[in-house]
């Protein structure tokens, strides 16, 4: 009897040791929580993240505070200023006009913005879309002019009209904030409506994005998250928007619910035409034929041998990033109300959970 008990006892000890050495694998939910554990705090700004896979919203997570002083936490409905990710939706508003024939890619922008100086070759609509305009950055021009208060889009146009081009339009790719500022103005002039109104009618409302709005005046700011900047020696301060009357390059307020709806509409190619969705994915070329890996507000890159449409931007106390894998029907989006928050590394780590790394 003693000889039989010892092997059984040894097996029990072995199984107990094995179970201790092989803990349960973490779920994707738990791994994402671990990534953002630092921001799961009542004393700091934070972020919200969404994962859309095959048209379904498989992850919605929120961490930290939308308003530290008011004790308001971030949730899936919290509105964020998405900084320069706004360009993708200004591009979509322009794509709608191009698709219905109201604007052509080859149109000289002076047709709708005659205030701009005459140059040869002219700056065209596609130069704005693909950042081949040669226009200097409006922030730089504004600062050189003394950085006046309460500047709006038209004031920036007046400054840009007197500025020298950095290179001949169409000859090279160089990102300039001025391009999507002016692209938004083209949409306003053609439609005789504000960018907020046109984007609402042509992009947001048809897709079902009921919370999204472009805002180009401080009085109309939605009740969203407060933007913060990190203090040098710890803590956070509220960030002021030096140009609250600018929209196009920036100025979009939205949340992860609406962005998930947008990604689903891209996958299903509804409710707009196939031509509209084709435009949004179309990259450009310089006049010399050099490929431009950029498409209507998003960079087109490679990640783990897969094509990815992406953008990461920061402005006025906010940070936003998007990573879209069209072949995998996978999109990861992260929004934060801390300007120094770096979205790109988080987006890639989350994507790795689904790409089978």
The pLDDT, as a whole number, for residue 10 is 55
How far is residue 184's CA from residue 94's CA, in Å, rounded to a whole number? 8
Higher pLDDT, 184 or 3: 184
The sign of the CA dihedral 29, 31, 34, 39 is: negative
How far is residue 177's CA from residue 277's CA, in Å, rounded to a whole number? 24
Full-prediction pTM beyond 0.85?
yes
The tens digit of pLDDT for each residue in 88-138 reads 999 999 999 999 999 999 999 999 999 999 999 999 999 999 999 999 999
The pLDDT, as a whole number, for residue 216 is 87
Quick one: tokens of 342? 């770096």
The tens digit of pLDDT for each residue in 163-198 reads 999 999 999 999 999 999 999 999 999 999 999 999
The pLDDT, as a whole number, for residue 149 is 77
Q: Which domains does the chain have, with CATH numbers?
A: 24-355 (3.40.710.10)
> What is the CB neighbour count within 10 angstroms for residue 157?
17
Name the average pLDDT for the chain: 92
* DSSP secondary structure code for residue 132 in this structure: -
Cβ neighbours for 326, distance < 8 A, ≥ 6 positions apart: 281, 307, 309
* DSSP secondary structure code for residue 61 in this structure: E
The tens digit of pLDDT for each residue in 301-314 reads 999 999 999 999 99
């Amino acid at each position: 009897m003693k000889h039989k008990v010892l092997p059984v006892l040894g097996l029990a000890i072995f199984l107990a040791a094995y179970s201790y050495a092989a803990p349960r694998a973490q779920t994707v939910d738990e791994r994402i929580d671990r990534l953002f554990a630092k921001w799961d705090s009542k004393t700091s700004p934070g972020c919200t993240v969404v994962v859309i896979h095959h048209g379904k919203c498989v992850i919605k997570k929120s961490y930290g505070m939308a308003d530290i002083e008011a004790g308001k936490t971030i949730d899936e409905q919290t509105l964020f200023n998405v900084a320069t990710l706004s360009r993708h939706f200004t591009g979509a508003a322009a794509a709608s006009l191009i698709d219905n024939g109201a604007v052509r890619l080859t149109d000289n922008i002076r047709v709708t913005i005659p205030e701009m100086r005459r140059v040869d070759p002219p700056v065209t609509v596609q130069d704005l879309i693909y950042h081949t305009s040669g226009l200097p950055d409006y922030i730089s021009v504004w600062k050189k002019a003394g950085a006046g208060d309460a500047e709006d889009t038209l004031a920036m146009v007046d400054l840009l009209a007197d500025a020298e081009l950095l290179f001949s339009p169409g000859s090279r790719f160089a990102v300039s904030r001025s391009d999507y500022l002016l692209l938004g103005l083209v949409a306003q002039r053609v439609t005789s409506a504000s960018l907020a109104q046109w984007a609402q009618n042509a992009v947001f409302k048809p897709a079902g994005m009921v919370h999204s709005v472009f805002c180009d005046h401080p009085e109309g700011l939605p009740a969203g998250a407060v933007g913060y900047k990190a203090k040098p020696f710890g803590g956070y301060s509220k960030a002021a928007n030096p140009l609250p009357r600018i929209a196009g390059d920036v100025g979009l307020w939205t949340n992860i619910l609406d962005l998930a709806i947008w990604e689903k509409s891209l996958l299903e190619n509804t409710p707009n035409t196939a031509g509209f969705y084709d435009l949004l994915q179309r990259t450009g070329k310089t006049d010399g034929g050099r490929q431009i890996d950029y498409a209507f507000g998003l960079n087109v890159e490679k990640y783990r041998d897969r094509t990815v449409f992406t953008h990461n931007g920061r402005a006025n106390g906010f940070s936003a990033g998007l990573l879209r894998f069209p072949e995998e029907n996978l999109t990861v989006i992260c929004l934060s109300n801390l300007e120094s928050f770096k979205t790109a590394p988080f987006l890639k780590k989350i994507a790795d959970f689904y790409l089978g790394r």
